[in-house]
Structure formats: structure tokens, C-alpha cells
Amino acid sequence: MADRKRGTSIRPLSRVLDAIDSPAWMIDPAGDLCYLSAACEPWLGVDIDRLLGRSTLLTSATSPPAGESSTAARTEADRTEADRAVDRMVRALAAPPGLSDFARLHRSVHPPPIGSATQTPPAEQQVLFLSLGGGADHVLALAGQPPSSAVDADQLVAAEIHGELLRWQQQLPSWSQLACLVGESDACLRLRRQLRLAAACQEHLLLVGPEGSGRESAALAIHRQRQHRRFDSSRPTDSRPAVRDATWAVVDGALMDAELLDATLGALMHRLGEDDEAHGTVLVQNLDQMPFEAQSRLEQICQRFERTLCLMGMTVEGLDRLQESGRLDSALAQRLAVYAIGFVPLAGRASDIPAIASLLLQLRRQSGEGTAQRFNRQSLDALVMYPWPGDLRELEAAVRHAVRTATGSAILPAHLPLAVRSYRPSDPAAKESASIDLDRSLQRLERRLITQALERAEGNRAEAARLLNISRGRLLRKIDEYDIGEAAE
């Protein structure tokens, strides 16, 4: 199959599609046919190159695909009618309405013939249409009898996720094992830009986000990128050192005092003092819980090794909140104010969870652990639905549990931890009803009914009382209580 038939966006599905004997095709987000399998040609009875690039939309303009030529024997009218016949066939292959709401729909497809009246019309096919990521993404059509299970659809979804991971790993090979960078959400794309910029400069960093969100792994990746950039590109090839040890230290701010901090960073400070070309990084976990005495000592160490030591602080809250609450030394806050990186929790980027979970599964598979190769759609739905209070760290634990539990090639909901597979989101209506003030709601309703009765009675309070089936005295008391205003009898 030619490359232009396989466009870049559908190459991850090529192995699956090539193994299918029945016709298969793909429609891109613009509604154009971007792929047709070889089995489509004998079914439709036409060279499928004539169909590629055509729009399946009824309102599309007629235009032949690039590369199609006409002969001198064909008149303009003949060419136009032929194009119209091709367009009619292409529109017969369009996805059915409502696919974006249901993600998968069956439909009977019977395209009209192209050419002479003696041409055998294509046979009717039962087709399964799959939305590979929502209404705005590619649609895959598989001809044949409806599958008895969702296995085929699961494999195609897994292949699409695999293609997304492959494209990401090709674009960012040096970050290919950092799970927090997988996905296409706005939060993920912003985090990628922030981390790449941080790796390209030698600045102190503040990493802000919930615990378990991948902050420490990202900090280590930034440190390694800086070390590689410094020792791999700053010197001529013949003068580069053969071996350079990365100088990296991690301390827990909540457990530190000034004396323990000196002992923990002693080896690092000795290295920086002995080697003028050495550069080191200190990652401080729970910086906001670090005693002020230890914070002051850390600032002194940073001043001593101003040019060779980089500080990375990890906090849950941003710098403004830390300064307002007085939990961060002012000099240390000024040092970390240059560059801050925000990590959005998984609950805020649910669309990235299938790709993140698949990468974690892929990494465990590469290490020889387990037999599972993919998640089925139900298990992916369960992962997306779960709120992940423990964030990425909890997702890693869930994947590890599933890999050890699964015995086949697919991870099913039963293989997920009990908390994940049994989770059901609370009913928004129940939350809303729980917050209703009954007395206030009744008062609003009573005031509205009295106002409506007075309007219907044209201000006559006796008539309004009759309409409300209450006494005139009670109506007067309610009018005064709710301050409805004067009205003529």
C-alpha cells in the first residue's frame, strides 16, 4: 500500500489493518478518505487511488485527487459526471450520524457503481464504524459481520495509543520514559515546553504540584539533560572527559536541620570545592516544611557555590502562597522566583491517562514483567473515571498490580485494584440536593406565588387571597414579611 494511502496519522494501525481480509478505510477529521485497504478495490470495482483524498461530506466541492489525469478523448462534461459518480461512492462510505455520541456504530453500506450501467454494483456490507478519539478525530470503518465481542475494537484502540506513544518518543527521545510528559492535553504540552526550557538553561527551579505527580523524576531528567549538554557539547571532541559522574543530591526538607543538612551535602560540597568544572544539583523535597534554620543554611551553601550549584525545590503550593504564609525564607524565595514549573494532577488531565497507563505498561513489558500488552476499553474507562488522589504514583502502583494479576495479553477491569475497578462517581444531582436550603427555597416559592396572584388580581388583595386559597389577613402578613410592596385593593 502506498505511503500516501497510509498517512502519518494511521501508520500505527497498519499492522492491524493489513491482517484484516475484509475492506477497511479511514476518514480523517476533515471528512476526507485518507486510507483504503487493498480489499476495498475488488469490493468497489474501482481503482481506490481515485477515491483517496475525496471528501465524504455531502456539501464538499468536487475535485479530483492529486495525480489524476484526463485523456483528450474525455470531454469536460464526461469528466464532471465521472467525478460526480466517484463522489457519490465516497459519500456512501461516510460515517453515520451520531458516531461522535456513541464512539461505535454499525451501518449497512451499499455504494453505487462507477462507470457503465453494465458494471456489477458493489455488494452490500455490514460495517462497524469506530471513532478513535472522539467526534473530531479519525474514524475507522471495518466491513464484515458485527463482531461478537469488543476484542477487535480494543486492539485498534491499543494500536492508536501505541502510535501516539511512538510519535511522542520519536519527537522527544531523551524524555521517552517520563510518564508525566505523555499526552496531548494543554497541561501536558505546557509541561513539555517548561521542562525543555529548564533543561536548556542553568537556573534554580521551583517544582509545584501534588505529591506523586512525577516532580522528582522530572527534576532528575532535567539534571541529566543539563549534565549531558554541559559535558557533551561544551568541549571539542578530543578534549571531552571520558567519564563524568553526575553530581546529584536529594534531601527531605521536613527532616532537615542545619547540622544534618551539612552532613547530607558534605560529599557534594567537597566535590564542588575540589573540581572547578564540576556542577551539582540539590533537590529539596517538602521545601515548605523545612525549618528556617535549615533554609538559611541552604541559602548560604547556594551563595558559596553560586556558579556551580543548582537548587531545585519541590512544594505543593506556589511561591506566592508560601511567602504569604511565611513558610519560606525571603532570600531563598527570591532565588527560586526565576523559574517555576507547574504539575497538573491526573484528575485535571484525564484525557492523557490512557496514554500514560500504556507507557507504564510498556516499560514493565520491556523489563520482562508480566504478559499483558494492552488495556481493553473497559479497563481504560475505569482508569479515566477514577480520580487518582495519589496521582501518578498511584497510577504506577495500579499498573504494577494489574501486570502482576493479568494472565493474558490484555488487562481487564478485574485485574485493576479494587479501589479503581469499583469506583463510581457521585451523582451531581445528589450533591446539589444535599446543599439545598429547604426553608429558603420555600420562602422563594411562596413569594413568587403571592406576586403572581397579585398580578392576576390586578392588585386586589382580597381576590389574590381567594386565588391562593388563604385568608386576607394571612396574605397581608406575608406581603409585609416579604416586603412585596403596595398594591391597590
The last residue of a domain, from among 300, 327, 346: 346
Question: CA angle 46-51-57, nearest 5°?
Answer: 130
From CA 377, how far away is CA 425, in angstroms rounded?
18
Q: Which residue has the cell 519541590?
A: 314
To the question of pTM greater than 0.85 for the whole model, the response is: no
Residue 312 lies in a domain: yes
Residue 357 lies in a domain: no
Residue 270's Cα: distance from chain center in Å?
A: 44
* pLDDT value at residue 249: 92
Both 127 and 221 in one domain: the answer is no
> Going by C-beta distance under 8 Å and a sequence separation of 6 or more, which residues neighbour residue 354?
161, 375, 380, 383, 384
Both 135 and 218 in one domain: the answer is no
* pLDDT value at residue 360: 94
Query: Is residue 28 within 8 Å of 38, Cβ to Cβ?
Result: no
Both 337 and 195 in one domain: the answer is yes
User: If pLDDT is split at 50, 70 and 90, which confidence band does 240 have?
Assistant: very low
Query: Is residue 309 within 8 Å of 280, Cβ to Cβ?
Result: yes
Residue 214 lies in a domain: yes
Domain that holds residue 463: 438-482
The last residue of a domain, from among 122, 146, 170: 146
**Mean pLDDT within 102-131:** 79
Residue 155 lies in a domain: no
User: Does residue 275 carry a pLDDT above 50?
Assistant: yes
Both 190 and 339 in one domain: the answer is yes
Residue 381 lies in a domain: no
From CA 139, how far away is CA 25, in angstroms rounded?
8
Both 129 and 207 in one domain: the answer is no
Both 29 and 138 in one domain: the answer is yes
Both 48 and 107 in one domain: the answer is yes
Q: Are strands 125-131 and 104-109 parallel, antiparallel or unpaired?
A: antiparallel
Here the CATH number for the domain that contains residue 322 is 3.40.50.300
Both 87 and 204 in one domain: the answer is no
CA distances from 234 to 76, 199, 227 (A): 65, 15, 10
User: Does residue 135 carry a pLDDT above 80?
Assistant: no
Query: Is residue 105 within 8 Å of 96, Cβ to Cβ?
Result: yes
Residue 360 lies in a domain: no
The last residue of a domain, from among 96, 128, 146: 146
Highest mean pLDDT among 10-14, 79-83, 171-175, 272-276: 272-276
User: Does residue 233 carry a pLDDT above 70?
Assistant: no
Helix pair 353-366, 377-385: axis angle to 10 deg: 120
User: If pLDDT is split at 50, 70 and 90, which confidence band does 59 have?
Assistant: very low
Residue 3 lies in a domain: no
**Mean pLDDT within 66-77:** 41
Identify which of 20, 54, 58 has the alpha carbon closest to the alpha carbon of residue 38.
20
Cell of 271: 566535590
**Mean pLDDT within 137-155:** 67
Both 52 and 190 in one domain: the answer is no
* pLDDT value at residue 244: 41
Report residue 280: phi and psi, to 5°: -130, 165
> Tens of pLDDT along 154-213?
766 776 787 788 778 767 878 888 999 998 899 999 999 999 999 998 899 999 999 999
Here the CATH number for the domain that contains residue 81 is 3.30.450.20
User: If pLDDT is split at 50, 70 and 90, which confidence band does 340 have?
Assistant: very high
Q: How much is the mean pLDDT over the chain?
A: 80
> Tens of pLDDT along 77-90?
455 777 878 888 89
Long-range contacts of 298-306, Cβ-Cβ distance < 8 Å, separation of 24 or more: 298/261, 298/332, 299/329, 299/331, 299/332, 299/335, 301/261, 301/265, 301/269, 302/204, 302/332, 302/335, 304/269, 305/269, 305/272, 305/280
Both 32 and 102 in one domain: the answer is yes
* pLDDT value at residue 486: 53
* pLDDT value at residue 76: 44
Cell of 457: 388580581
**Mean pLDDT within 448-475:** 86
CA-based torsion, 9, 15, 16, 21: positive or negative:
positive
Query: Is residue 363 within 8 Å of 165, Cβ to Cβ?
Result: no
Residue 404 lies in a domain: no
User: If pLDDT is split at 50, 70 and 90, which confidence band does 387 have?
Assistant: very high
Here the CATH number for the domain that contains residue 470 is 1.10.10
Both 206 and 134 in one domain: the answer is no
Cell of 406: 493479568
* pLDDT value at residue 251: 94
Domain count for the chain, please give it: 3
**Mean pLDDT within 343-362:** 92
**Mean pLDDT within 252-278:** 89
Both 337 and 194 in one domain: the answer is yes
102/282: higher pLDDT = 282
Which amino acid is it at 5?
K
